[in-house]
Amino acid sequence: MFKTLKRIINWCGDLKSKLYIGFVFSFFSHLFSAMPIMVAAYTIGLLITSIQSGKPFDTKWVLYSFEMIAGLVILRFAFDYMRSKFQEGISYELVAKDRLAIGDALKRVSLGYFEQNSTGNILNSITTGLNVLENMGIRMVDDFIGGYLNFLVVFLCLLCFSPVTALIALAGVVASFLFLLLISRYSTKNAPVETKAGQNLQEAVLEYVHGLPTVKSFGQGGASMQAMKTAARENRDIRLKIEYGFTPANCGHLLMLKIASVALAGAACYLGLTGAMELPIMLMFVFFSFSIFASLEPISDSAHVLSVIDAAMDQIDALKEGNFIDSDGKDIRLSNFDIAFDHVKFGYENGREILKDVTFEIPEKTTTAIVGPSGSGKSTICNLLARFYDVNGGSIKVGGHDVREFTCDSLLSNISMVFQNVYLFNDTIRNNICFGKPDATEQEMIAAAKKARCHEFIMELPDGYDTVIGEGGGTLSGGQKQRISIARAMLKDAPIIILDEATASIDPENEHLIQEAISQLTKGKTIITIAHRLATIENADQILVVDDGRIVQKGTHKELIREKGRYLDFIKVREEAEGWQIK
């Protein structure tokens, strides 16, 4: 509990001073919310005393007390306003920074990280975890520290008027604190379980939504709902179990405070009736006893929420401090863009070896086609060049520098990738095209779109370049999405292009436009293509034939068709498929 409070305060970093100033305002706000009752009680006490003694009551005192109460109420709201002005913005600022920091961190981890940390887990941390911190973090610290600070002042006041009542109040708070420790211990144990249940639910919902088109096409709604239903049920059961688990301690905490209130009122009455306390003071104490612990009552919730926040902060820290693969990387400016794989060995996390001693060179401004059977390792070669993963043996050099010498940003500034499965963001076409160069001018953006053969269809859309294209580019055809992704790569204008040619058949019109766009994109660049079209393969300066993680043949089309081997077999199959003739 205290560890989490300290953790949240440290999380505030440069904004700590705002937090502390907020505590001062919070303290006065609590104090002024209790004082009107005391004034009212004291006035009633004076009235009763004057009636009892037969002396006339000074009615001016009623006016004074009314003015005092009004003043105190105004002060209470003014201090509360100042507290929120200082404290409320802190979480929003820090959480916004954290979200960006996580986004930045995720760019710098190996893609293997995402195989070990599910999307649901990451999403849960960025949304639910940070939301808890954003909405509750500072409030819990304020409730906790403000609550006890407030009690300290009340305790000192009580001590001045009547040490006995002060000790009763202190005993109540100590007893309630013991229950608080119980809640905290219980919640610390269960908060990670609760978080995990939330992650599982989020993951199941994501999976269900992503799979909806398949669900619909196979008419299997019932089966696919099952995982989500199970996760929802488990989430409900775990939350209920945890809630019921700490309810007794929660009640115990409140009960101790209420018993102390009653004892305090009883002690004040006893002291008043035995003449040890003046009547107005006694009444003030009796009235006050009902609100004296008001600032401590919500703390039982804080103890549980603090444990949930602690678990969320663990997750967020783990994401922010992910295993960066470029911690020692530098910003390197290249003078050439030759690529060299030297005895590269690689296997995915805890898996078998996929690339076995791969060696080849690609001189800059040449085109290399990679061909080979499905699963032979073609995409893996491209992923390693972009350093999505690190090699297990050997080295990969770009422009004479090992890819491990670069920061991820610096390496990827030299590379554009055009994938078969294009991903477009749920944003305007303009922002999707400018993704690789956000500061591009309108003219540059339109020029790239024209070269990528997408300007015409974009202009026919209702909002032109400002058309929002839906998540994953859902409102566009496959060919249109591909051309937009080519425009995006064109605008980035990177010297190395990694291209994964579409295997799926696209209509001839689109195919023709895409080929035109690609030839515009690749002019004068270093190209590495996972090639499927025979025209691309034939025109390449170099062909790498990959089989079972090895380069089994290397050369131009003319050289390779003269050899007996995998390439000739491959071409024959393509020949049959495309009606090609070996030239």
Please report, as ranges, the residues that interact with ligand ATP according to CB under 6 A.
115, 348, 351, 354, 372, 374-380
Shorter beta-carbon distance to ligand ATP: residue 430 or 533: 533
Q: How far is the CB of 526 from ligand ATP (least distance, A)?
A: 20
Q: How far is the CB of 110 from ligand ATP (least distance, A)?
A: 11
Shorter beta-carbon distance to ligand ATP: residue 250 or 542: 542
Burial label for 372, CB within 10 Å (0-12, 13-18, 19+), is buried
Query: In this structure, how many other beta carbons lie within 10 angstroms of the beta carbon of residue 392?
Result: 12
Distance CA 546, CA 533 (A): 16
DSSP assignment of 100-135: HHHHHHHHTB-THHHHHS-HHHHHHIIIIIHHHIII
Shorter beta-carbon distance to ligand ATP: residue 65 or 376: 376
Shorter beta-carbon distance to ligand ATP: residue 168 or 369: 369
Q: How far is the CB of 502 from ligand ATP (least distance, A)?
A: 12
Q: How far is the CB of 251 from ligand ATP (least distance, A)?
A: 51
Q: How far is the CB of 408 from ligand ATP (least distance, A)?
A: 18
Shorter beta-carbon distance to ligand ATP: residue 441 or 503: 503
Shorter beta-carbon distance to ligand ATP: residue 313 or 497: 497
> Residue 316 carries which DSSP code?
H
Q: How far is the CB of 242 from ligand ATP (least distance, A)?
A: 36
Shorter beta-carbon distance to ligand ATP: residue 203 or 500: 500
Q: How far is the CB of 376 from ligand ATP (least distance, A)?
A: 4
Burial label for 335, CB within 10 Å (0-12, 13-18, 19+), is exposed
Distance CA 500, CA 494 (A): 16
Shorter beta-carbon distance to ligand ATP: residue 419 or 425: 419
Shorter beta-carbon distance to ligand ATP: residue 253 or 533: 533
Burial label for 59, CB within 10 Å (0-12, 13-18, 19+), is exposed
- Give the list of residues 6+ apart from residue 506 with CB closer than 8 angstroms, or none: 478, 479, 482, 514
Cβ-count burial 457-483 (b if 16+ within 10 Å, e if not): bbeeeeeebebebeeebeebebbbbbb
Residue found by looking up tokens 């409102």 in the block: 475
Distance CA 104, CA 98 (A): 10
Residue 362: strand pairing partners: 339
Distance CA 470, CA 126 (A): 22
Shorter beta-carbon distance to ligand ATP: residue 30 or 378: 378
| 487, amino acid identity | A
Q: How far is the CB of 383 from ligand ATP (least distance, A)?
A: 7
Distances (CA, A) of 513 to 326, 478, 488, 526, 534: 38, 12, 16, 22, 17
* Nearest alpha-carbon partner for 252 in 182, 354, 353: 182
Q: How far is the CB of 344 from ligand ATP (least distance, A)?
A: 13
Distance CA 557, CA 537 (A): 7
Cβ-count burial 153-190 (b if 16+ within 10 Å, e if not): ebbebbeebbebbbebbeebbebbbebbebbbebbbeb
Q: How far is the CB of 354 from ligand ATP (least distance, A)?
A: 4
Q: How far is the CB of 503 from ligand ATP (least distance, A)?
A: 8
Shorter beta-carbon distance to ligand ATP: residue 185 or 554: 554
Distance CA 437, CA 433 (A): 8
SS3 assignment for 391-406: CCEEEEEECCEEHHHE
Distance CA 177, CA 131 (A): 28
Shorter beta-carbon distance to ligand ATP: residue 375 or 474: 375
Shorter beta-carbon distance to ligand ATP: residue 10 or 374: 374
- Give the list of residues 6+ apart from residue 214 with CB closer than 8 angstroms, or none: none
Which pair of tokens denotes residue 403? 């890819």
Q: How far is the CB of 458 from ligand ATP (least distance, A)?
A: 30
Q: How far is the CB of 371 from ligand ATP (least distance, A)?
A: 9
